Structure 1
Amino acid sequence: MAVGAVPAVRTAGAALPTAGFVLAAAIALAFALRAPAGLAVLGLATFGILHNVLELRYVAGRFGEVLAGRFLRLLLVLITGIVVCRLLPPGPVPHAAEILLAYGLLAAACLQALRGRPAALAGAAMVLSAAAALSLSFPAYHFVVLAHLHNLVPLVFLWEWSRRLPRGRAVFLAVQCGWVLAVPALLLLGALDGVLAPADGGVARLAAAYTPPAWLHTAAGLRFVAVFAFLQTMHYVVWVWFLPRHAPDAAAAFERRVPLLRGGRAWLLGAGAGAALAVLFATDWAQGKTLYAAVASYHAYLEFPVLLLLVAGLAPAAPSDRKDLS
């Protein structure tokens, strides 16, 4: 067998994974339409920490060749700064500091990805500078966009994973684009308003975090909460079901890197920490949400440097893309 090859049963075709995504999206959409606030809250309490652990395992294993050394240490320092900001009482200063640290993280990733390409690096610097100025001027919009953008990120990882498929890739990607892009678009355009449950107190409490301020007190608030609940649920499907099952090479690479979390220990860590946080959610929702937002910074912000490296073509080849070295 070729070095790094994936067992054929995992990549023989896309039929079963594609069918699984269709079924999961149908169920998630049904709940998002009838009980969006409940789906968002229960999903976070049940799968929030577990998906953090499993996503970090995948990213650290799959992209260990680029997430290493001084670059990784710099990213962790910047993200730890964001964690501190999220643990502080909310206000303009912590929010501005988080925004600056986030763009510092992106700048570090651009430097890593675009070394030796001065024109591209200069263009990236201009884009980041303009975006940072916009985010600092409208911080409420920045955090709403960030919340939804995080749920769209799996599309890039699924696109990258699909390169290993010997057949059925086009249908697989069409389904991914369907739930990531088409379903949210239908919800936001009001096409599904006829089957959306009326807004309740739970929706009102969540709407501020997931709705652009200008639309907060309109019908769009309910739509944005439904979109978030749907995408968050599918986000968990990707990290808790699909990639652990269909990308065992990433888990194996992570276990070689972190032997302490071999086998089912990563699952036990995620489930145990998640259960503890669920108790905190039940007793003090606001404190639990603050703690979760801080801890989740590591997996959420580590995605963006990896995405930039993927776009720049610097990510390592997928196992089935590597040459046979045996």
Structure 2
Amino acid sequence: MPLAGFAAAALLALVVALRAPAGLAVAGLAVFGALHNVLELRYVAGRFRQVLAGPFLRLLLALITGIVVCRLLPPGPASRAAEILLAYGLLAVASARALRRRPWAPAAAAVVWATAAGTSLAFPAYHFVVLAHLHNLVPLVFLWEWSRGLPRGRAAFLAVQFGWVLAVPLLLLSGALDAWLAPGTGFTARLAVAYSPPAWLHTAAGLRFVAVFAFLQTMHYVVWVWFLPRYAPDAAAAFERRVPWLGGWRAWALGAAAGGALGVLFVSDYAQGRSLYAALASYHAYLEFPVLLLLVLGLGPEGRAARREAVPCSSPTSLPSPPTPPVLS
């Protein structure tokens, strides 16, 4: 059953995140990072195919490609600022698409994004820390959307999801589990730079943020590599109709092959491997944000119509799937 699977995965991930947070974060990325990229893109492109199409999709991909280029350039203030501006441009485009028939709403959204972009440009280190953790929280919205079609047990399903997405990280950050948290190492301290707010970097909270990231990243992989491929097969089927050459086992093979190549690069030059992965992973990480924004804003009249026309997902077990209608780990 999915609930037992989620509970067992969360317990195991928490134990390892407490005892070896840095090891879990790095090993998880090396083993599942590339595979979950492929499977997440397959799910999003299949389930939200009515939205991610035509000129809108091409514009999103152009903006994300700009972000990839920024990440491939030598790191510096200019490339970081360009990535931030492109990211908010992505959100502005999605807002304009969803709100175009609502008076004054696009202008209000533009003010919100401009203000947020100014804040991110003023505090870029905080921007990227928030982005890293926010990416691992994204599955909650997809799981919420998926669960709308459950005929029963939705409250229990969502309670489990909120438990691992919010309750466990809050326990870790509060220090309630510090007695079981292993002491930090030099490598853990280096990871903390990417996953801890600068003001808390050299405090006990720095290690806690690494543990939170390792835990959430692992559960992020559980969602994309186990749960959604198994319990939302119609999303994969819709993607395969759209991209038949990447159907069936080929998507898994592509993810496994990319993961193997990435693992070799990690072993030979971890810094270079991490930089390359962070650049290429921008496609799946940034594409999910416009989709989530469109979901939150109701997808507009066209999106609601698309949801009414969607085909229900089937499930391989007795638990049915709901109707078909996002650096980073």
Unaligned runs of 5+ residues in structure 2 are 313-321, 325-329
| Contact residue 210 and residue 225 of structure 1 kept, 8 A | yes
- Matching residue within 242, 245, 250 for 2:227: 242
**C-alpha separation between the residues in 2 aligned to 1:248 and 1:159?**
17
Q: What residue is the counterpart of 1:301 in the other structure? A: 286
Q: What residue is the counterpart of 2:212 in the other structure? A: 227
**Residue 34 of structure 2 is aligned to residue 49 of structure 1:** yes
**Residue 32 of structure 2 is aligned to residue 63 of structure 1:** no
**C-alpha separation between the residues in 2 aligned to 1:119 and 1:206?**
43
Instruction: Please list the CA deviations of residues 219-253 of structure 1 after superposition, one character each: whole Å capped at 9, or x if unmatched.
Output: 00000000000000000000000000000000000
- Matching residue within 136, 140, 153 for 1:151: 136
**C-alpha separation between the residues in 2 aligned to 1:89 and 1:143?**
16
**Residue 1 of structure 2 is aligned to residue 29 of structure 1:** no
Q: What residue is the counterpart of 1:196 in the other structure? A: 181
What amino acid maps onto 1:120 in structure 2? A
Q: What residue is the counterpart of 1:112 in the other structure? A: 97
- Matching residue within 96, 100, 124 for 2:109: 124
**C-alpha separation between the residues in 2 aligned to 1:90 and 1:322?**
43
What amino acid maps onto 1:224 in structure 2? F
**C-alpha separation between the residues in 2 aligned to 1:93 and 1:48?**
27
Secondary structure at 2:104's aligned position in 1?
helix
**Residue 269 of structure 2 is aligned to residue 274 of structure 1:** no
**C-alpha separation between the residues in 2 aligned to 1:164 and 1:322?**
6
Instruction: Please list the CA deviations of residues 27-71 of structure 1 after superposition, one character each: whole Å capped at 9, or x if unmatched.
Output: 000000000000000000000000000000000000010000000
**C-alpha separation between the residues in 2 aligned to 1:220 and 1:296?**
27
Structure 1 runs of 4+ aligned residues shifted over 3 Å read 318-323
Secondary structure at 1:198's aligned position in 2?
coil
**C-alpha separation between the residues in 2 aligned to 1:192 and 1:54?**
33
**Residue 267 of structure 2 is aligned to residue 292 of structure 1:** no
| Contact residue 164 and residue 319 of structure 1 kept, 8 A | no
The alpha-carbon deviation at position 166 of structure 1 amounts to 1.2
**C-alpha separation between the residues in 2 aligned to 1:168 and 1:220?**
36
- Matching residue within 78, 81, 102 for 2:87: 102
- Matching residue within 160, 167, 177 for 2:145: 160
Instruction: Please list the CA deviations of residues 172-202 of structure 1 after superposition, one character each: whole Å capped at 9, or x if unmatched.
Output: 0000000000100111111111110111122
Aligned-residue Cα RMSD (Å) equals: 1.2
- Matching residue within 188, 197, 205 for 1:212: 197
TM-score for the superposition, normalised by structure 2: 0.92
The alpha-carbon deviation at position 118 of structure 1 amounts to 2.6
**C-alpha separation between the residues in 2 aligned to 1:322 and 1:298?**
25
TM-score for the superposition, normalised by structure 1: 0.93
**C-alpha separation between the residues in 2 aligned to 1:301 and 1:55?**
12
The alpha-carbon deviation at position 165 of structure 1 amounts to 1.1
**C-alpha separation between the residues in 2 aligned to 1:264 and 1:307?**
28
**C-alpha separation between the residues in 2 aligned to 1:83 and 1:56?**
16
The alpha-carbon deviation at position 322 of structure 1 amounts to 6.0
The alpha-carbon deviation at position 287 of structure 1 amounts to 0.4
Unaligned runs of 5+ residues in structure 1 are 1-15
| Contact residue 95 and residue 106 of structure 2 kept, 8 A | yes
Paired residues, number:
308
- Percentage of matched positions with identical amino acids: 78
Instruction: Please list the CA deviations of residues 98-131 of structure 1 after superposition, one character each: whole Å capped at 9, or x if unmatched.
Output: 0000000000000111111133222211111110
| Contact residue 38 and residue 202 of structure 1 kept, 8 A | no
